[in-house]
Structure 1
Amino acid sequence: MDKSSFNPDDFFKKACSFEATLIPVAIALGWLANINPFAYLHFSETAIAYGVIGAMPLFLLLLSLEQMRIDSVIKIKNLLFETLGPSLQRYHWADLLMLASIAGLSEELLFRGVIQPWIESSWGMTAGLVGSNIIFGLAHAVTPLYAVLAALVGIYLSLAMDYSGDRNLLIPIVIHGLYDFLAFVALMRAYRASRLS
């Protein structure tokens, strides 16, 4: 992420637009692969509950990483703080919830609704799990460690999709969206606090 080209004024619109664009990308890729990205998306209270519960370990991991004094972790924290902090602090929590919801839906439709089943159909479940999440990690590669962490989170999201025994994309959508929201709010609060001190 090039800090000099990052404009906090138009961050929200661009971020929402970019994330929302992933939905037609998922639909187009699904059409090419003969995969319906929405095939495993089923509403259920149980899936929502699993999603809410499933977001908590990721958020606790984030909070514990913030306490670590490892150079590569500090580099990620500073990069996110300096690039996203000025943008996020301008918005209300409801705006951040909307952005996080769009990101959760669009990224899960693309990576776990299309890419994972596409790879699974050719090379099997393990290859689908690993391959789709290597791509997921590379798509989030702001630093090498961040790419690895994102790939591991992607594996967690993929496993959560099958947690109830019946594949349901709603579980990772809720986990992803809620985690992003909590992370955005934590970053926003930390940035606002740093400006007061």
Structure 2
Amino acid sequence: MAKTPFNPDTFFKQACYFEASLILVAVFLGWIAGINPFEHLFFSESAIAYGVLGTAPLFVALLALEQMQIDSLAQIRRLLVETLGPGLQRYHWVDVFMLAAIAGVSEEILFRGVIQPWMESLWGMTVALIGSNILFGLAHAVTPLYALLAASVGLYLGWSLDYGGERNLWTPIIIHGLYDFLAFMALIRAYRARQ
């Protein structure tokens, strides 16, 4: 097994700090663009329900991709298990849930709370949806295929922002956070199975 580029002893704290710092980036970019990153973040039972239910299609897609015997997908799985597995596997599921929640909140406030609306104000909804998720994919560019998959997930999250006729960041935040949690738990299971 290859040595991980992350220090497993400090990985969790650093990941939480990095993800949380994206909120500061969102606030700064929002200030430049004249956009309040938290404007569309309000309690709504329907947004929460859509978020919980909206996680299922992504998780089913993840499970389907895990079953496919395609070299490029196997390379991504191996890379994620070898790099993130050692750092994540030592933590309780509550800690992993907290990291996933921080990632869901911070990345969605940045990409769906600032970047997508900023692009909408400049170029319209379609270009904003595509453009913001090209950036989302590039931010997750572990491999070219992973960047493409992340951009596709980003399109889904961007679409979910307005699902049900009400723009609410809670829907993509919940989908993103729950999906990351389930993906992290699957990754931990895979890492432990290889030990």
Same fold (TM over 0.5): yes
Q: How many residues align?
A: 194
Letter paired with 2:72: S
Deviations along 1:53-75, one digit per CA (max 9) or x if unpaired, are: 10111111111111111111011
Whether 1:16 aligns to 2:41 is no
Q: What TM-score, normalized to structure 2?
A: 0.97
Whether 1:193 aligns to 2:193 is yes
Letter paired with 1:24: L
Secondary structure (helix, strand or coil) at the match of 1:118 reads helix
Q: What TM-score, normalized to structure 1?
A: 0.96
Unmatched tracts of structure 1, length 5 or more: none
Whether 1:60 aligns to 2:25 is no
> Within 5 Å, which residues of 2 pair with 1:144-163?
144-163=144-163
Give the match for residue 28 of structure 1. 28
Q: State the alpha-carbon separation in 2 of the partners of residues 189 and 149 from structure 1.
A: 22
Identity of aligned residues (%): 70
Secondary structure (helix, strand or coil) at the match of 1:164 reads helix
Indicate how the Cα distance of structure 1 residues 185 and 39 shifts in structure 2: closer, same or farther if over 3 A, else same.
same
Q: How far did 1:5 drift?
A: 3.0
Q: How far did 1:4 drift?
A: 5.2
Secondary structure (helix, strand or coil) at the match of 1:41 reads coil
Secondary structure (helix, strand or coil) at the match of 1:142 reads coil
Whether 1:126 aligns to 2:126 is yes
Deviations along 1:30-73, one digit per CA (max 9) or x if unpaired, are: 00000000111111121111101101111111111111111110
Secondary structure (helix, strand or coil) at the match of 1:134 reads helix
Q: State the alpha-carbon separation in 2 of the partners of residues 194 and 57 from structure 1.
A: 27
Matched-pair contact (CA < 8 Å) for 2:4–2:84: no
Q: How far did 1:147 drift?
A: 0.3
State the 4+ residue runs in structure 1 displaced beyond 4 angstroms: none
Indicate how the Cα distance of structure 1 residues 120 and 3 shifts in structure 2: closer, same or farther if over 3 A, else same.
farther
Q: State the alpha-carbon separation in 1 of the partners of residues 161 and 98 from structure 2.
A: 22
Q: How far did 1:29 drift?
A: 0.4
> Within 5 Å, which residues of 2 pair with 1:97-176?
97-176=97-176
Deviations along 1:69-120, one digit per CA (max 9) or x if unpaired, are: 1111011000001011111110000000000000000000000000000011
Q: State the alpha-carbon separation in 2 of the partners of residues 3 and 120 from structure 1.
A: 43
Secondary structure (helix, strand or coil) at the match of 2:10 reads helix
Matched-pair contact (CA < 8 Å) for 2:4–2:82: no
Letter paired with 2:132: S
> Within 5 Å, which residues of 2 pair with 1:69-108?
69-108=69-108
Q: State the alpha-carbon separation in 1 of the partners of residues 21 and 59 from structure 2.
A: 26
Q: How far did 1:194 drift?
A: 2.4
Deviations along 1:164-196, one digit per CA (max 9) or x if unpaired, are: 10111100000000000011111112222222x
